[in-house]
Amino acid sequence: MIIHFHYSPNPNSGEIRRIRNIDNEICNIAKTKCIEVEFYSLRDRKLVKKTWRFNLTDNVVRKYYVPLLPFTGNSSFIQWICDLWTSIAILFIYLRHRPEMIVGEYSTSYSAMKMKNLLNCKYIADMHGALPEEYAYNNPNIVQWRLDYITRLETLTSKKADYIICQSEEMKRHIAKKYSVNKERIFVYKCGVNTNMFKLEADKKSVIRKQLGISDNSFVFVYVGGLMKWQKIEESLMIFADTQKIVDDCKFLILTREVDTLKLLLKQLNLEYLSNDVIALSSPFDKVSDYLNAADVAFLLRDNVVMNQVASPTKLAEYMACGLPVISSKVAACWVEQSMIEDNTIICFEKGFNLKLLVDNVKNCNREQIRQHAKNSFSLEIDSENIVRMYSSLK
């Protein structure tokens, strides 16, 4: 038996898919079952329903919903109380089920470390981000005690966990160097893509474009995801606007749950004149691949900072699995092999980049080769092999 605990408010997030996949991988290898523990904010208590939260996988035989205490983060003392509560909850669930291992998602791992000496099992920390750097980036005015607390959280988790699962080779190097952790204790699980769901299907291109009112000759950009500032949607829109000046028939397909927000954003950026050429819609997850096949190139712009350097964006894997070249920035050199940049699988766009060259590179790229890159570097099969190696080490 394994116990996997986490906190995530979004049932459709990449984090949740990652948790599902790790559960299944370990259970299938160990020939065991999983108990899932979800910590949730009391502010979200009305949303804690099986119909709203994600479905249990076949290997999850039981699920606990454990509320977090309110007012988390208001002060270091209240944070300490909340951590203690989480630790006690983990300990009681452990004593009831006596699992052979516990897997803790990053944001709650610190609490398990407090009780580590009382847990007679292997503890695996799922660390999918450089947490102090991420908080500092997203919260420029963060109070010092909060940043110190988050740093202690990452330090204790890194040093006390028996094994660490992280999302990239760059993150593995980051943890090993920052905390002097033996690399043999760190395994990479890249949030890979299901290449049976996301795939290159040339026949879908005309079908989907016809549904959307896009001509076969259009040059089509695509972006999938939220509209937070760090996701660089404003920059993507500006590149699209500039491309329209040199390409007669150009469209931008945006798959997002924030369609109304996008309309406001176009107005704020004085880009309302693009409204007829920006096609925004919300799509079920199992239909995203169809829309990706209708596009020519995808956007995945990020700032070149530690938070992004250690990432392994799920969207990158999904884009590439559908044979799409990706417009990114210098940070992409931390995500992929240099060959993927050299063959224009990844187009590193910087200010002053020649847009005509970008369009030519996209038109001349080998989409089948891009898909093969995804299968070789970002598939769930690759992730699975790393989990097998981790489990072998546990034994």
Q: What pLDDT was estimated at residue 33?
A: 92
Cα distance between residue 362 and residue 378, in whole Å: 21
Q: What pLDDT was estimated at residue 305?
A: 94
Indicate the pairing of strand 297-299 with strand 278-281. unpaired
Cα distance between residue 19 and residue 11, in whole Å: 11
Q: What pLDDT was estimated at residue 127?
A: 87
3-state secondary structure of 249: coil
Q: What pLDDT was estimated at residue 347?
A: 92
pTM above 0.75, yes or no: yes
3-state secondary structure of 280: strand
3-state secondary structure of 73: coil
Contacts of 334 (CB under 8 A, 6+ apart): 168, 170, 308, 309, 310, 311
Contacts of 191 (CB under 8 A, 6+ apart): 14, 17, 18, 128, 167, 312, 313, 314, 317, 383
3-state secondary structure of 346: strand
- Residue given tokens 């909060």 in the structure block: 146
Q: What pLDDT was estimated at residue 52?
A: 44
Q: What pLDDT was estimated at residue 164?
A: 92
Q: What pLDDT was estimated at residue 11?
A: 59
Please list the pLDDT of the chain residue by residue as tens digits (395 residues). 899 888 765 655 667 777 778 888 888 888 999 998 888 877 655 555 544 445 567 788 888 888 887 765 667 788 888 888 888 999 999 999 999 888 888 767 778 888 888 888 889 998 888 889 988 998 888 888 888 888 888 898 898 899 999 989 999 999 999 999 999 999 998 878 889 999 999 999 999 999 999 999 999 999 999 998 889 999 999 999 999 999 989 999 999 999 999 999 999 999 999 999 999 999 998 999 999 999 999 999 999 999 999 999 989 999 999 999 999 999 999 999 888 998 889 999 887 788 999 999 999 999 999 999 999 999 888 888 888 888 888 76
